[in-house]
Structure 1
Amino acid sequence: MKVISAGYPKTGTKTMTVALKTLGFNVYDFMENTTILGRDWEKIFKDGWITEDFKRMYENVEAVSDAPPNFFWEEIHKAFPDAKIILTTRDEESWLKSLVAQLRAVESSWTLKLMSLLTPTGRLTFKILLDYYIGQEIYGLKDSMLWKPFRRMVINEQILKLKFRKHNSHVLQTAPPEKLLVYNYRQGWKPLCKFLGVPVPSVPFPHENKGANIMDEWLATDPIMINIEKELMLSLAAIFIFCCIGGYYLFNWLPTNI
């Protein structure tokens, strides 16, 4: 482990992931963490952890970003004390607006709802980890993001702000100053590359998840999400075939039993 991106979601974490990949780092973002390491994270949230857990989980990973690693940045750094820490930042009001928009996008996505019910990977990623543990622990949500009959999810913006401030303050006060970079994606390549000790690439600096449209980006481009979509198509096909067979037998049973 070389880089821990400790910033809260919606502070440029997806942009940081793409930037680190461009610089040649092997990065585990939200999707890799919740699918490849999903059972490990479920155990951590439910039963706790030891430092050896993180050493094992990330022994072949060079960088982590987004939730849930950002929430556990300090524990991951204990496992990899030579790793550098990046705190991505953003002004509070624009961060809050963007995060709420993303939470509402998750809430309104029927694709995620179906994935959370009908696919094994989707159930772990969205229903168990995102909807339950990440929603409650990191965002402080009391409602489900995906299943609330007849009403919208309650989002307490004051609680979100307090969690955001507390997280940032803890990183600033606790991380070793010589290993910490406080960074805004608008600063571009130069401070990031200087901090990591790598040359500045010739490509423009990325800007991902604009306007909190991560749902569309995931569904269109993320290879893990595409595999979950395939699981969903197989599940829907199986349900369709089952209904057709059931309907056929019901149709043939009714005339002889009425």
Structure 2
Amino acid sequence: MVAVIGAGFGRTGTTSLKRALELVGFGPVYHMKELYDRPERLAAWLAARDGRAPAAAALAGYRAALGWPACAFLDGLLDAHPGAKVVLTTRDPDAWYDSAHRTLYRSRFDEAGEPRRLTGDTARVAEFAEDLIWRGAFGGRFTDRAHALSVLAAHERRVRESVPAGRLLVFRAEDGWGPLCAFLGVPVPDAPYPRDNTAAGFQDRVRRRLAGQAVRPGPEKDSGAAE
């Protein structure tokens, strides 16, 4: 049963929050990286996108879900998990755009600026992300900075307006453990709040995946293991 839903877009601190939730006992946590690592769940997400099945079906076995694709199905996930708490990760909008552009957006292209030629499961997951995020959320206009920022602002405004105050935490990574642990009702760990998925780390992971060197994680289970 999903206990925490992350409503923020990618590059708002979702990977750090993933690690934080694992450390305080809310793992396993679903994140877009999971879909690339375990593409067998793609069929469930496609069914949710097409209205043939609820998005909750794609999250069976997970205690939390963050970023895309989950944040695109927030309303359905809230209905399916009425006891779940929502964390809206956010950051300075211009910093978010710069980060998303040089990582998530640029990862779609090779060094020559051409769309990457992908194969197999990676290609199918990438096409789903293309449809859900770049053609869907941003209407094919992510390079229009003002438009992309307006999409981010509208999404965050809708989350703030639609999620009851008692179920919502608006959170920045620099806020640290205090507000997050108070919101979740758990003790503050004796460790710094995670600072994961820098731009350099993201790009390195993409290179390893494309080179076929990414290591497939072990079986899904409720553990606090690092990503």
Give the structure 2 partner of residue 236 of structure 1.
none
The answer to whether 1:141 aligns with 2:129 is: no
Which of 1 and 2 has higher RCO (CA within 8 Å, sep 6+)?
2
Q: Distance in 1 between matches of 2:47 and 2:215?
A: 24
Q: Distance in 1 between matches of 2:111 and 2:21?
A: 29
Residue 166 of structure 1, CA deviation: 0.7
Question: Where in structure 1 are there 5+ consecutive unaligned residues?
Answer: 143-153, 229-258
Q: 1:104 to 1:220 in 2, by over 3 A?
A: closer
Aligned counterpart in structure 2 of residue 48 of structure 1, from 27, 51, 61:
51
Give the structure 1 partner of residue 18 of structure 2.
17
Give the structure 2 partner of residue 81 of structure 1.
82
* Root mean square deviation, CA, Å: 2.5
Residue 226 of structure 1, CA deviation: 1.9
Give the structure 2 partner of residue 208 of structure 1.
196
Q: 1:140 to 1:121 in 2, by over 3 A?
A: same
Question: Where in structure 2 are there 5+ consecutive unaligned residues?
Answer: 217-227
In the alignment of these two chains, the number of paired residues is 207
Q: Counterpart of 2:42 in structure 1: which amino acid?
A: G
Give the structure 1 partner of residue 31 of structure 2.
29
Q: Deviations over 1:44-79 (max 9, x none)?
A: 32x2245xx234332321000111101111211111
Residue 225 of structure 1, CA deviation: 7.5
Aligned counterpart in structure 2 of residue 226 of structure 1, from 198, 205, 214:
214
Q: Deviations over 1:232-255 (max 9, x none)?
A: xxxxxxxxxxxxxxxxxxxxxxxx
Q: TM-score if structure 1 supplies the norm length?
A: 0.72
Q: Deviations over 1:115-172 (max 9, x none)?
A: x22xx2212211x212333221123326xxxxxxxxxxx7111221111011000000
Q: Counterpart of 1:183 in structure 2: which amino acid?
A: F
Give the structure 2 partner of residue 151 of structure 1.
none
Q: Distance in 2 between matches of 1:109 and 1:177?
A: 45
Q: Counterpart of 2:19 in structure 1: which amino acid?
A: V
Higher helix share: 1
Question: Greater Rg, structure 1 or structure 2?
Answer: 1
Q: Which moved more, 1:13-22 or 1:81-90?
A: 13-22
Q: TM-score if structure 2 supplies the norm length?
A: 0.81
Q: 1:174 to 1:212 in 2, by over 3 A?
A: farther
**In the alignment, is the contact (CA less than 8 A) between 1:140 and 1:160 conserved in 2?**
no
Q: Distance in 2 between matches of 1:225 and 1:92?
A: 33
Alignment of 1:63-74 (within 5 A): 63-74=64-75
